[in-house]
Amino acid sequence: MKNNTDIYSIDNTDYEIGQDNIQKWGFDVHNPVFGVSTGLILIFLISILVTDSETAKAALDGIKWHIIGTFDALFMWSGNIFVLFCCALIISPYGKIRIGGEDAKTDHSRLSWFAMLFAAGMGIGLMFWGVAEPVAYLTSWYKTPLGVEPNTAEAARLALGATMYHWGLHPWAIYCVVSLSLAFFTYNKGLPLSIRSIFYPLLGDKTWGWPGHIIDIFAVLATLFGLATSLGLGAQQATSGINHVFGTNGGIGMQISVIVVVTALAVFSVTRGLESGVKKLSKINMILAFFLLIFVIFSGFSVILGTIPTTLFSYVENIIPLSNPHGREDEAWLQGWTVFYWAWWVSWSPFVGMFIARISKGRTIREFVTAVLVIPTLVTIVWMSVYGGIAIDQVMNKVGILGTEGLTEVPLAMFQMFDSLPMSSLLSVIAIVLVIVFFITSSDSGSLVIDSITAGGKIDAPAPQRIFWAVIEGLIAATLLWVGGTKAIEALQAGAISTGLPFTILLLLMCVCLLKGLKTEPR
């Protein structure tokens, strides 16, 4: 064991911090965070494995729904505060501050930067829910937003607006708060790239003790469980697509095979580092997603001409009613969809926020917030208008499987929509490849993030360490699928979402810490 002592400066005052790191077997880890995180992960896995998956899911679902039902107003108002906070930063004098200092240079082009933040943020979610969610709201698959009558023209408009609400400004504001706070305290104040660093203005030297350890441990667990959940659900979607297109009958075995392939490719990517691994994969993601989007646009051009403005106007028109948690007649929908989403985005925020922070040196705060908040929202408006708009049109006009049977299986919804379009098989094959590549990107970028946290904020930890976390993600997802199938994965998801409550409080405190830090910058 060795003690590294570094000097960090906040508000022109020097502070000493100590970091206890272990270097062994090619690892360089921060002992308390790595050891406790690994132990808690093992305990959780063993408890899931020895407990019936139905029982585990029921228990964790009970905790999740208790949190969502009790703290729905807190989640909703916090989301609104994050949006307003980010918008205020854009127009404030703080917007001129450059991440990394006045002379800092960017490490990536704008196109590469945007490709990486979007791929890590929610690219895979758009593939999974781009068709299913609007159709769910239209047909009352699980309640309708704002109590509208299902399967009506009003429901069709609101379905697009409500879907956009869940994937627009609010989630990206959550990511923005975390990523900007991390980037500022890392590159402007010289603190480690770790979640605990954000709270230095409030905790002082306690940041480097157990209060900071606990914050980082929560971040590791939320990130790992969130990634493993998405890997499991993504394997189900890829398997459903393969079965649908090629007429196979793959089940758990094929899902695990997909996880093995994704994990192997993620391991290869993380060994090549950020530049040669994640960056290149993110560009491939964007190219594939762009071509798939163009193909779908041309296939349903007449429909899409009307859905893009409909989505935009419905989003703007309904953002305030949808953001108000009080006096809602659609409380079941509010808690089952919006609050669920907010808790999910918050639980993902340590992962996405840290990754965005790592690649954003040299940007001004105004450029950073505008890019993270506005540009993905505009792209998502187009994406949801295309996929959701065509799917809604098929349902309203009784076209294809979606039109006749409605939403039957969420993982299959996109492929069922493709069936009624020209070149449907080609579209489905591209979509399957895109889903897999998106998951590889999420896995390797997530491994880099967990690696940084458990290494005490080091950016370039040893390769075996990055490989370890990529393999652990795949093992968790594959093991849970093998022993408990979908129920076990959903139990893990419920556990991840339950971390959204403490992290929501931490995010609110991050806003305070960031303002305190910005006030120390020369203007």
**Interstrand relation of 27-30 and 13-24 (parallel, antiparallel or unpaired):** antiparallel
Q: How confident is the model at residue 276 (pLDDT cuts 50, 70, 90)?
A: low
pTM for the model stands at 0.90
Tell me the three-class secondary structure of 489-523, residue by residue.
HHHHHHHHHHCHHHHHHHHHHHHHHHHHHHCCCCC
pLDDT digits (tens, 9 = 90+) for 430-479: 998 888 888 888 777 778 888 888 888 777 767 788 788 888 888 888 88
Inter-residue contact 392 to 218 (CB < 8 Å): no
Residues in a beta bridge with 13: 10
User: Which of helix, strand or coil describes residue 367?
Assistant: helix
pLDDT digits (tens, 9 = 90+) for 6-37: 434 444 333 333 445 544 444 566 678 888 98
Q: How confident is the model at residue 121 (pLDDT cuts 50, 70, 90)?
A: low
pLDDT digits (tens, 9 = 90+) for 340-389: 999 989 988 988 898 899 889 999 999 999 999 988 899 899 999 999 99
Token representation of residue 519: 């006030």
d(CA 199, CA 189): 12
